[in-house]
Amino acid sequence: MEHRIPLAMGGEDIEANWELAHIKCHRTKTTDDVGKIAKAKRREARHIGAKVSGTPLPFGKKSPFKRKLDGTVVRRD
């Protein structure tokens, strides 16, 4: 069983949205759906104004620096 319209794309978990699927066909559809779901999430994030930083903090998680909400960077001590 699979959902015709994936739950992550707004499909409902009701009997009208269910269908029988061959294993190979289901895998193909799921692979396609994953890409479409990721694209929809990126589109929604852009719509609400969220974006990935073009200038991430140096040194990863162990950085001695902290970026403030106004964009300035200060050194942690």
Host domain of residue 45: 2-75
DSSP string computed for 7-65: GGGT--SSGGGEE---HHHHHHHHHHHHHHHHHHHHHHHHHHT----SSPPTTGGG-SE
pLDDT of residue 73: 74
Number of domains in the chain: 1
Is 46 in contact with 56 (CB distance < 8 Å)?
A: no
pLDDT of residue 24: 92
pTM above 0.85, yes or no: no
pLDDT of residue 77: 63
Low-confidence ranges of the chain (pLDDT < 50): none
